Amino acid sequence: MPTIVPLTYEKREEPRLYFTSLLKNMKILVATEKPFSAAAVEGIRQIVEQAGHELVLLEKYTDKADLLAAVAEVDALIIRSDKVTAEVIEAARNLKIVVRAGAGYDNVDLAAASARGIVVMNTPGQNSNAVAELALAMMIYMARNRFTPGTGSELQGKTLAIHAYGNVGKLVGRKGKALGMRVIAYDPFITDATIFENDGVEQVASVEELYAQADYLSLHIPATAETRGSIGYERLMSMPKGATLVNTARKEVIDEEGLKRAMSERADLKYISDIAPANAAELEELFGKRFFATPKKQGAETAEANMNAGLAAARQIVDYLATGNTRFQVNK
Ligand code: NAD
């Protein structure tokens, strides 16, 4: 009888071991213009150091030169809304992985990263609840005349329309249902109808149908080449009387001139946004209480979201350096 040698097993493991042995004692930079909470930084440090790597911190930087200098020697990078441009990628000679602690990754030049073989990841779902709660809070704030004296209205019984039913959109939908709202949603990339049905949410067939029924339109589309500037005059004008557009997605998806025109022509429309549009001062002057924007992005600014996204970013980096796991890679 010939002896059976487990060759297949050893062969399969070989590349992984090779990968692991290469990527030890790495420098991991947390570069945050708007820092994580101290507790989240401590958690990130523990994950990084327990895995045998070194944590480098660059917080509250105001000059791009500081970021360019800090990335020069590091192997991995954790960011929040910080901009990782082609120039930053160029300066980061040893960089292997960037993790955007958050959902949107439009602040990273993916093409420049891919050209250098750098893996880019996000941490999907980790801050969604914080954003969803803010979206609902924004609706109530506008319904109650921004907490100024006078008669407001209630969310119960109104139609909440959700544009994009991803991680945040789903949570907004469920919370809207809990408040007694009728919830409808549109997401052309979701083909499984049970995703909507399980939440008691009506799936509408077109974006036109969505806006035409929306007392509250909650925006959750990512900022992409296709969506930038896509929400403007036409969409707003199609909304019912007294409608409110709630934007916790990205300011870039709004056609700001179109928005201004629609709100000028219709004194019943309201707009609330998590981060000010470029023409915020003008909108404030023109529309008073019908417009509000957070001075700084607030969506993910909770202790819980900070912790969840920061720790997830650190874990994903440590795992990638140890095993090559690219599950959350966005530039495949
Ligand atoms: P996600 O990736 O889970 O969901 C995005 C959804 O958009 C997906 O279901 C996708 O199918 C859908 N989609 C993509 N293109 C679309 C299109 N053209 N039309 C309609 N639907 C489209 O992302 P998420 O976690 O739900 O976050 C959504 C967006 O919110 C992010 O891209 C980010 O820009 C923004 N965001 C903001 C904050 C904040 O602090 N305000 C925090 C987190 C996320």
Partnered with residue 77 across adjacent β-strands are 29, 98
5 or 272, higher pLDDT: 272
Residue 235 and residue 181 share a domain: yes
Whether residue 134 is predicted with pLDDT greater than 90 in this model: the reply is yes
Say if residue 51 is in the same domain as residue 31. yes
Question: Across all residues in the chain, what is the average pLDDT?
Answer: 93
- In terms of domains, do 234 and 137 share one? yes
- Asked whether residue 287 is domain-assigned, the answer is yes
Q: Please give the pLDDT value at position 332.
A: 86
234 within domain boundaries: yes
pLDDT value of position 11: 37
Whether 62 is in a domain gets the answer yes
User: CB of 116 within 8 A of CB of 97?
Assistant: no
Q: Are residues 133 and 122 both part of a single domain?
A: no
- Verify that 158 and 256 share a domain, yes or no: yes
Q: Are residues 158 and 179 in the same domain?
A: yes
Q: What is the CATH number of the domain that holds 53?
A: 3.40.50.720
Structure tokens at 109: 């030049």
Residues 75 and 163 in one domain: no
Tell me the per-residue pLDDT of 233-255, one tens digit each, with 9 for 90 and over.
Answer: 999 999 999 999 999 999 999 99
Whether residue 252 is found in the same domain as residue 266: yes
What is the predicted pLDDT for the residue at 19? 54
Nearest CA among 166, 155, 209 for reference residue 184: 209
Nearest to 180 by CA among 151, 207, 200: 200
pLDDT reported for residue 8: 36
pTM of the model: 0.89
CA angle centred on 291, ends 285 and 297, rounded to 5°: 110
CA of 5 to the centre of ligand 1 (A): 50
- What confidence score (pLDDT) does residue 63 get? 96
In 200-262 the beta strands, taken as DSSP E runs, fall at 202-203, 216-219, 244-247
287 with 318, same domain: the answer is: no
Q: Which domain holds residue 107?
A: 3-126+303-323
Indicate which residue's Cα is closest to atom 2 of ligand 1.
Answer: 166
**One-letter amino acid identity for 162?**
I
Residues 180 and 208 in one domain: yes
Q: How many domains, the chain?
A: 2
| CA–CA distance, 141 with 169 (Å, rounded to integer) | 19
Assess whether pLDDT exceeds 50 at residue 5: no
Indicate the SS3 state at residue 190: coil
pLDDT at 37 over 70: yes
**Residues 90, 233 within the same domain:** no
Residue 328 resides in a domain? no
**So what's the pLDDT on residue 91?**
98
In a domain, 332, yes or no: no
Distance CA(152)–CA(271), nearest Å, equals 16
Q: Do 218 and 246 contact (CB within 8 A), yes or no?
A: yes
In this structure, the answer to whether residues 140 and 255 fall within a common structural domain is: yes
Angle between helices 303-323 and 7-22 (to 10 degrees): 120
At 143, list the tokens.
């319904």
Residues with CB under 6 A from ligand 1: 102-104, 124, 127-128, 131, 164-169, 187-190, 220-223, 226-227, 248-250, 274, 297, 299-300
